[in-house]
Structure 1
C-alpha cells in the first residue's frame, strides 16, 4: 500500500557534485508569488503513495496528506487511470450541457451519503458558501423566516475556508482581521457547549454549521455526546444541521464520515478535499431534495463544478470508499498512532494529544519550541508535518501509509522531542 520504507531522506543516485536547486527555486517563488503561505523549505518534484521526493532527490514521508486531500496517497493508480481515461474523452462542458459522467457521480455520491441530491462545486470554501446560501434560502422559502433575518449558528475555533463571508464568522485573528466589513447573520458559540448552542437557536435560526472535528484548530474532538446533542436540538427546533466534513470525511477518522462515530446523520454534508483524489479540486453539498430544491436555474452555479474530469475522478474515489478498506485502515492504524502518541504524552514529551483515526493534533511544550520548529526538525529527518496555532503539530498521513513507515516516523518524532 506504500512505497518501500526508507530510514531517512538521502541524496539521489548520480554524481555527488550535482547542484541542489532548492534554494534557487524557493527564491524564485518568493520573488514572484504572493506571500500568503509560509511553506517548509523544500521543493517537491515527485510523489507516490505516502512518499514525496524533492528536487535534490531526498525522500520524505508525507504525514500531512494535503490537509486530507490526499487520503488515498499520491498518484493512486486507480485514480490516475480514471483521470487519464477521461482526459482522452472530454474534460469540461460547463453545466450548460449534460455530460455522461454527471448522473453517475450525483447518484453514487448521494448513495454514499444516504442523501437524495448533490450540488457539485470545486473547492471546500465554495461548498461551504453554497451550504450557507442553501440554508438561508431554505429558511426563507420553507421555514418561513422573515426576509433578511436568517441566522446561522457556528462554533468558535472554526475553519470553513477563507472567503469574505466565511472569515466573517471566524474567531482566528490571522484569518479575519483586515477583511471587513463582515457579512452579518452568524452567531458564534463555544465549540462543544450544548447549552450555549441551544440558547443561541431562536426563531430566525436556519442552520447550525459545525466541523465534527475541528481540523485547523488543532484536531479538536468535541466532548462525547456533543454531536448527538446538537442533532437533537436542531431536529427539535426545525433547524438544519450542516456538517462540514471537508477534512474529517471520506475515511480520515476510521469511518466514512466523522459524524458516524456518534450515530449522527446531518441534514447537509459539505465535502471536498479527498473527493478529488489529490488530482483535481472537487467539492459538493449533499442533502435532501427539500433543501437543495430551493435552488432554481440561475440562483447558483459554477463553470467548473461537476465537470467531466472531476466526476470521473470522484467516481473512482467513491468506489474506493465503498470497499471499506480505507476506513478500516484508518481505524486500525489510527489506534496504533494514538497509542504511540499517548505514550509520548505519558512520558512528558508532549502536553496533549487529540484526534481520531489517522488524524492527530499534538501539543508541544512551548518551552521546547514552536510547532514550526518541530516541523523543521522532522523535515530534516525525512518526515513532513504541519504546525498550527503556535505549538500544535498536525499529523494526518495518507490512509495508504504502511505501518512500518508510520512507526519509523513516530520514532523520529520521539527523538526530536526527547533528544
Structure 2
C-alpha cells in the first residue's frame, strides 16, 4: 500500500502542474460545468439515462462473464503434471470474446453519447419553441433515433476506436504517425479525427455519417483533434497544458475537473473502507492482530462502486459539455460568427476562439509584413 500510494501522488502532481499552467482558464472551466448542470436540470431525463447505461454495462458484463468462463476455460487435465491446460484453439476464441465485450461496451457508451448529444442540440437550438416537448419525450425520440439511423454509425465508431485508437494511444508517436499515414490512403480522413469522441457527437447533432462528420470536425480549427482529448500518445496528454492561451483550455480544464473529482472520490471511498474495516475487524483471543485481507477486499469493492456510480454522473456531464461545444462550434463556424441561439454559450466558449482568431490574424499580418520587407530589400 505504501508503494501503491505513489501512483495517486504522481497523478496529483501532473494534475496540479496542468492546473497551474492553465490557471487563467479555471473560472471559465467552472462556468462551463455550471452551464452543463443547467442543461442537465432542464433535461432531467438524462440522469436516469446515465444510470440505465451503468446498469446495462453491469448486466452485460455479468452475462459475458458467464459465457466467457464456459467457453474460454475449455481444456484438459494433464496426466503428467496433473494440472489443467487450456487448449490452444480456445485462446483465439477468448481473444474474440474480449474484443466483443469491449466493442459492446463501446456501443453502449456510444448510444448514451448519441442520445445525450441529440437532447442537448434540441435544447440548444429549439428550447424556446412553443409548445415545448417534455424531457422524457425528447430523450425517447433521441433514443429511437440512436437505435435507428445512427446505430450503424455508433457501431462503426466503436469498432474503429477499438481497432485503431488503442494502438495509437499505446504506440510511440512516430509509429502512430506511420500507421495513420498508411490508413489515410484507404480512408481519406485522419484517424485521430475519425476515432475522436467528438465525431460521434457531431454525427448525432447533425444526423450525418461518420466520415462526413469527421471531415466537418477537422475543418473546425479551434476543435482540432490534436487537442488533449484526442492526444495520439499518453506522453503528450499533459503537453497541451503548455499552450496556456489555447481556445480549448477551459474545455480541457472542465473535463479534467470531472475526471479528478471521480478519481478522488473513488480513492477516498476505497481508502476509507479499507481503514474502517481494518480497524473494526479484530481476531478473537488476540488483541494485537487485526484483519488486513478482508479490509483490502472491502476497500476495493467500495472504490469500484464509487468509480461506477460517479462514472455515470461524469459521463452525463462530460457528454453534455462535448455536445454544447459542438453545437456552439457548428453555429459560429470557422469564421467566428456571433452565437445567436445561445448567447451564454458564446460568452463561455467564444472568448477563447476570439483570442485564437486574433493570434492567427496577427501571425498572418507578420508574415505579410515579412514578405513585403523582403520584396523591398
**What is the TM-score normalised by the length of structure 2?**
0.29
- In terms of fraction of residues, the more strand-rich structure is 1
- In terms of fraction of residues, the more helix-rich structure is 2
**What is the TM-score normalised by the length of structure 1?**
0.27
* Bigger-Rg structure (1/2): 2
